[in-house]
Amino acid sequence: MKIQATVLFLFMGLFLSAQEPDSLSTKKVWSLEDCISYALENNITIKQAALEKNSSEVNLTQSKYAKLPNLSSSASQNFSWGSTIDPITSDFVSQQIKATNLGLSTSVTLYNGSQLSNTVKQNRLMVEQNELYVEEAQNNISLSILEAYLQILYNKESMEVAQNNVIASEKEVERAKARLDAGTITMIDYTDALSQAATNKTNLISAKNSYAQQIIVLKQLLELDPSVELEIASLDNPLLEGQAVPSKLDVYQNAIGSMPEIKASELGTTINEKDLDIAKGGFLPSLSLTGSLGSGYTSTNDLTFTDQLDVNFNQRIGLSLTVPIFSRYQNKAQVANAKIGIEQSKLQLQTAKKSLYQKIETAWQNAQSAQEQIEAAKVASEAAQESYKLAQRKYELNALSTTDLVISQNTYTNAQLNYLQAKYMGILYNELLDFYQGNEIKL
């Protein structure tokens, strides 16, 4: 029976293992769209901006309720000795008194210079502004992910270039050793080959480190756990050579109308104008309606507690008018500060527009430069590749020194890296220009 149970257990274990979903054995490959979508849901900066928006919504709700009447209840128990006034009957007595007071009161502001209404309007604008701040945070994170994603792809291809150089240099060391043993080259040629192989290994290590560091940057933007392995997908449609770069003025005009930071700055001026309206309301009279219900009990009266509550029951209603005469410069200061705030918000809007134009100008210049560099770098890379192949054949025929072969390899490597850099810079800045025109980031 024990043997049968053991066999059955092993069989069930194999069966369950076979039923595991493929997702457990297949590592997820992240596309750019996957990264952006995940970050929009999980990035801390975006969550903080969303919490600020939630707080502004709470403030808006509170300002709406401020227009409603308040309601409060009160109860007190008093003990007094000696000559005093009865708090319930208002009679002057000279004895021990036990008095109970019960009350219910309310008040509502009828008019206070439209300050309550303007506060509601201002808080509604602040909710809209915070929604734009959330959108701005989402845009900033999306752009950071785009940059990190392309940097990883560049580092990955750079790592492949470095790996190929290591393989090639190791073969060259083997050939150099054979030639040294055959006496056809000097020790200097052989050590040059060894030195180049060591340099290429160092470059590979550096490329791997840069790749790993950029993976960390992307994982932090995604708020991924450090233990999660991250692998990104290559681009299906890389940048086409000769792609037209849009007019920077057209890009800027589209960006002015679509970028949330510009809309938020424009709302900032309107919000400060409401501050001025609220401050001006401080010069106007305020009118409030008050009302109360009350009753009480006193030990000086022979009636029972319940009867006294009925007899002493009272109702009050009243209007309270407050007219500001002298506020020790407080109202004037609030008005002056509100006007200053309006001017500051206008300057902030100009600064936001200048900053946006500077970003677009930089992206446009780099996109233009990248287009020219891509074509030149591709030609240089292809030419350097042919030169390196020819140098390798000459080296195999003992018609080229190791030093010249190393120079040819380094020239080819630099040409490859220059082309990769120009390619990914072109992708980045063309995508930025497309984004500033109101389009989604999608490669």
Range of weakest confidence among 63-67, 214-218, 242-246 = 242-246
d(CA 186, CA 179): 9
DSSP state, residue 21: -
350: number of Cβ within 10 Å: 11
In a domain, 21, yes or no: no
Residues 227 and 361 reside in one and the same domain = yes
Predicted pLDDT at 415 = 94
Domain end (from 298, 323, 348): 323
Q: Which range of residues forms the domain containing residue 245? A: 27-56+118-284+329-436
Residues 337 and 396 reside in one and the same domain = yes
Domain count of the fold of the chain: 2
Q: Is 119 a residue whose pLDDT tops 80?
A: yes
DSSP string spanning 189-245? HHHHHHHHHHHHHHHHHHHHHHHHHHHHHHHHHHT--TTS--EEPPPSSPPPTTPPP
For the segment 379-432, what is each residue's pLDDT rounded down to a tens digit? 999 999 999 999 989 988 888 888 898 999 999 999 999 999 999 999 999 999
d(CA 339, CA 275): 9
Classify burial at 229, counting beta carbons within 10 Å of its beta carbon; exposed 0-12, middle 13-18, buried 19 or more. Answer: exposed
Predicted pLDDT at 419 = 93
Q: Is 15 a residue whose pLDDT tops 50?
A: no
DSSP string spanning 250-319? HHHHHHHHH-HHHHHHHHHHHHHHHHHHHHHHTTS-EEEEEEEEEEEEETTS-S-HHHHHHHT-EEEEEE
Average pLDDT, the chain: 89
Domain harbouring 106, CATH code: 2.20.200.10
In a domain, 14, yes or no: no
Residues 370 and 228 reside in one and the same domain = yes
In a domain, 443, yes or no: no
In a domain, 5, yes or no: no
Domain end (from 323, 338, 373): 323
For the segment 309-345, what is each residue's pLDDT rounded down to a tens digit? 888 899 999 999 999 999 899 999 999 999 999 999 9
Residues 420 and 316 reside in one and the same domain = no
Secondary structure of residue 442 in the 3-state scheme: coil
Residues 104 and 135 reside in one and the same domain = no
Order of all β-strands in the sheet with 97-111? 70-80, 97-111, 286-298, 314-322
Residues 258 and 291 reside in one and the same domain = no
User: What residue type is 157 in one-letter code?
Assistant: E
Domain end (from 269, 297, 323): 323
Residues 297 and 239 reside in one and the same domain = no
For the segment 265-299, what is each residue's pLDDT rounded down to a tens digit? 999 999 999 999 999 999 999 999 999 999 998 88
Residues 277 and 216 reside in one and the same domain = yes
Residues 169 and 300 reside in one and the same domain = no
Domain harbouring 376, CATH code: 1.20.1600.10
- Residue 184 token pair: 């056809």
Residues 218 and 356 reside in one and the same domain = yes
Predicted pLDDT at 338 = 96
In a domain, 97, yes or no: yes
d(CA 193, CA 197): 6
d(CA 427, CA 236): 13
Residues 220 and 86 reside in one and the same domain = no
Predicted pLDDT at 236 = 73
Residues 6+ apart with CB under 8 A from 343: none
In a domain, 248, yes or no: yes
DSSP string spanning 389-404? HHHHHHHHTT-S-HHH
Q: Is 53 a residue whose pLDDT tops 70?
A: yes
Residues 194 and 252 reside in one and the same domain = yes
Predicted pLDDT at 28 = 84
In a domain, 262, yes or no: yes
In a domain, 15, yes or no: no
Q: Is 5 a residue whose pLDDT tops 80?
A: no
- Residue 424 token pair: 């990914």
